[in-house]
Chain A
Amino acid sequence: MGVPIRTVKSFLSKIPSVVTGTEIIQWLLKNLSIDDPAEAIHLGSLIAAQGYIFPISDHVLTLKDDGTFYRFQAPYFWPSNCWEPENTDYAIYLCKRTMQNKARLELADFEAENLARLQRAFARKWEFIFMQAEAQVKIDRKKDKTERKILDSQERAFWDVHRPVPGCVNTTEMDIRKCRREKNPQKVKKSVYGVTDDTPTHSPVHMPSQPIRKATKEDVQKEISFLNTQLDRHCMKMSKVADSLMSYTEQFMDYDPFISMPEPSNPWISEDTIFWDLEASKDPSQQRVKKWGFSLDEALKDPAGRDQFLKFLESEFSSENLRFWLAVQDLKRRPLQDVPRRAQEIWQEFLAEGAPSSINLDSHSYERTSQNLKDPGRYSFEDAQEHIFKLMKSDSYARFLRSNAYQDLLLARKKPESEQGRRTSLEKFTRSVGKSLTGKRLTGLMQSS
């Protein structure tokens, strides 16, 4: 069921083939399951701006939710035909309009300006343009009055799309990345009136188009071996995948500023940068510390988390694993020319015989790595790094999370009272020794500590 198109009686004449804005909106709401009229108006306006429907009494192509009359564009003029009408055609059209003494065909201000500009530009071929316009007027006169009304409006709407009112969006503008691959590059329609124009094309569109590469035997053979590899891949069931995605999202929802308002405020909304200042401060918040416990990846992502983990490992005299991992990460970020030297340094520090920070690698990874070092590159330590990461994940990371240092930060625990008390009283003691030395006072203080 479409929209009702009808002829409307108006004063002394009839307005053929129109539909009101409201009727179009209602149709859109119903048939595209739209809830919000604003959305329907927006979509309808876009369809109008593209040139598929148009208001009969306005050059500006939008859709209004009222009794304004609209008409459907003729398929000949549809943008999907890849029109790129030349200025000659536009000149003929504007010229033609001035030849007919009809109020409804009077030029709008911007059209009059365009015409003046075109007259200057085409000064030499103006006679030709004038003749074409005259010929068209003659043909048009022979058409049925109602038919002419409709065709004239459709033609005008076509030009409103290709030569829009200043300030309106030109919907014929194209994304240059897509231009070259127009479906029918040869069939781009240039002249609305069948006029051939010898002036060079103005459109930025015509870049030499890349011939679509046809698949060769090698391509298909590669595809076959790729598909065979995919067939061997062990994949996860959808139910498990869904659970995983859901639990990840749930875990991080508290950290998502679009879902949980950041404390104390979102800087973009409150205009206050305090949220950023707090994040940058030396003391990480409990919430941030909690994130380090989600995965080793999360802990290492946060520089503060990385530092804490390193500190903990140092206290256990087992920091070489993390330091190795960090060194390899750094290696991958170096400029190419630094890589061989840096790789050797890492080898010397962590893996060579008698290395100062010797790490524990299985013999297989060790062999592979030492082979790689013969031609050192950014990925020479990939296997080793992966092995060490797994080791840290299963061993030291778990212990880190259980450690006092981490738990203290997580629970924002204050230092134990006695320790604090002892320190302050010792300070008092040293200060007072300087001030006065009475035996009684000394004994008294000694006793209390």
Chain B
Amino acid sequence: MEEREYRSASGAPIALRRRQYSASCRELVVRCPRLQLRSLSAATSAVWLAAYGLFVLCENSMVLSAAIFITLIGLIIYLHFVKIDHESLLVIGSLGIQVTSSYASGKESTTFIEMGHVKDVVINEAIHMQKVIYYLCILLQDPGDPQGVSEVVPLFQSSKPRLDCLIEVYKSCQEILEQRKTAPQPS
């Protein structure tokens, strides 16, 4: 098991941890940048200053209590639904690929794709919000039509690692996916 530091597409530090469970099973975990104290303080101060300005204008003290509630509830919603703590990719040769996102509140959201549907794991480039980014994605195929790509599943969407980290993940996945060709196909 090893852990290395990389950078995300926006420059924030992220970490990639690789674990090899067996010859055909690997887990790759990308830890996203943590919630910064300064951005949290900035957001809270902005909301409270705006609420105090409103209070000075309309002399109603409910505005201040409402601002406190909004800040608390907003923070809880953000941690539970938006802020992702780490994203992991578990590749089990001949079984499938499992993609997990863990939110900062502890909630985990998992997707499993069976190996029959996986065509390949590739690094694709696309335009995203006035930038061209590299991102890792799983190409899915219809079991009946092995030549065509039926769907594209992008991975590591919120940590957005840069190309050096993606190449490491890509090489690890390809080592396991290559075993598919040499292993006997189940009927």
User: Do A and B interact with each other, yes or no?
Assistant: no
Interface residues of B (CB under 8 A from A): none
